[in-house]
Amino acid sequence: MKSKATSFDIAHMAGVSQSTVSRALSDSPLVNPITREKIKQIAKDLNYKVDKNASNLRKQQSKTLALLLFEDPTADDSSINPFFISMLASITKATAAAGYDLLVSFQNLNDDWHAVYEDSNKADGLILLGYGSYTDYEYKLSQLEEQETRFLRWGAPDENHPGISIGSDNFQGGKIITEHLLTLGRRNFAFIGEAGDGAPELKARYLGAVKAISNFQLDSNEQAQMIGQVDAISTELDGYQAATTLLHSIDDNVKLDAIFCASDLMAIGAIRAIKEQGYDVPKDIAVVGYDNIQVSGFSNPPLTTVQQNAALAGKLLVDNLLKLIHNEPVDDVLMQPELIIRQSCGNEIKE
C-alpha cells in the first residue's frame, strides 16, 4: 500500500524547506506567489490533504500565549538560565498590554510538549526559551510547523531551521569583545563554550572571536592566536572545570592571557579556577563573559561582558508572535549586542 504523502515529500520535490511548504499551503504572505503556486501544484499532484479538523481547531482563539521554558543545567534546582528569567518581565508586560493571558510552562526536552500544544486550544501561539542543543528538538519544531502551530523561538536565525527566530547577533558580539581585548594588548586567547552545530549561538560567538583575531593579524601584522577551546555548557562549574583543563593543557612556552567564556556564569567559574592556580585576574589572564546577567557586575573582579537586550527581546517575541497569529508578515530579527566594559579584562598592557 502506498504511504500517504507528507509535507516533507512536497518540500523535497519543490526544493524548499518543510516550513515553506506549511506556509504556502496556508496562504502565508511570507511565501512569494510563484513558489506558493508551485508548492500547491505539487501537493495536488501527490493528492496531499491538510488535516482540516486540526487546522480549524488551531484557528480558534484562546486569547492566551504560552511561554515554554526548557530545562537548562544550573547550579541550583531551578534549571532555568538566569538570562531567560530576565526576559520574563517584558514578555509578561507585552502580553498583558495586548490583552492576552500568559501561560508559563516548564518543559523537559524529552517531553511531548510539541504534541500537547499542536492539537489543543491551550494557547494561540508559543514562545520557546532556554533550549539546549538545537539538534535535540529540531524534529519537534518541524512537527509544530507541520501542524501550522504559531510559534517563535529565542535563538540564532537560520534559514535551515524551522520557525521564526528572534535573536542577538552572536557573531558580532564575539567579535567586538575580542577586539576590545586585542586593543588592551591581549594576544593568546582561549574560548570556553560549545563551538559545534548543536549550539549555533555559542558557535557564532566563537567564530566572531576567531574573525576578530584574523582581522587584527591582517591589519597590524602582529601575532595573535586562538590557542585553546574547551566545550562547556552554561554553569559556573562548567567554567571552573574548563578553565582548569585549559591551564593544565596549554604549552608552558605560550602565555595564555585572555579567556573568552560563552556565558557570564562560565566566566565566573573560570575566574575562580584561575585564581586557585595562582594567577591574577586580570593582570595575568583577562576573563570576559556573555549575557550581562545581574551578578556579572558583582563578581570579583566585575565582569566585562556582552549585553543582549532582554527587555527588547521579550517585547519583540510577543509582538511578532501576535503578527503570526493574525497572519501578518513576520521575519527573523537579529538584535545588535552591546559591549559592557568592567575590570575583568584590565587596562592596556604596557610593554
Over residues 95-113, the pLDDT tens digits come to: 999 999 998 887 655 556 5
Rounded Cα gap, residues 166 and 126, in angstroms: 13
Q: Return mean pLDDT, the chain.
A: 84
Instruction: Give me the torsion for CA of 252, 253, 254, 256, rounded to 10°.
Output: 40
- Write the pLDDT tens digit of every residue in 143-168: 677 667 788 888 877 766 667 889 99
Spatial contact of 265 and 242, defined as CB atoms under 8 Å apart: no
Q: What share of the chain has pLDDT > 70, as a percent?
A: 81
Max mean pLDDT among 18-22, 124-128, 153-157 falls in 124-128
174: left (phi over 0), alpha (psi -120 to 50) or beta: alpha
Section 171-199 average pLDDT = 94
> Which carries the bigger pLDDT value, residue 31 or residue 92?
92
Calpha distance 266→269 (Å, rounded): 5
The per-residue pLDDT for 119 is 47
Report the pLDDT value the prediction gives residue 59, as an integer from 0 to 100.
54
Work out the percent of the chain whose per-residue pLDDT is above 90.
46
Q: What pLDDT shows up at residue 129?
A: 85
Q: Domains (ranges, CATH) in the chain?
A: 7-50 (1.10.260.40), 60-168+310-336 (3.40.50.2300), 170-308+339-345 (3.40.50.2300)
pLDDT at residue 115, rounded to an integer: 56
The pLDDT tens digits for 218-254 are 898 889 999 999 999 888 999 999 999 999 988 778 8
Average pLDDT (39-43) is 90
3-state secondary structure of 102: strand
pLDDT band at 118 (very low <50, low <70, confident <90, very high): very low
Mean pLDDT of all residues in 307-313: 92
Report how far residue 172's alpha carbon sits from residue 338's, in angstroms, rounded to the nearest whole number. 9
In angstroms, rounded to a whole number, what is the distance separating the alpha carbons of residues 55 and 10? 19
Q: How confident is the model at residue 1 (pLDDT cuts 50, 70, 90)?
A: very low
Task: Give the pLDDT mean for 258-270.
Answer: 97
Predicted structure pTM score: 0.78
Contacts made by residues 49-56, CB under 8 angstroms, sequence distance 24+:
50/25, 51/147, 54/118, 54/119, 54/147, 54/148, 55/26, 55/148
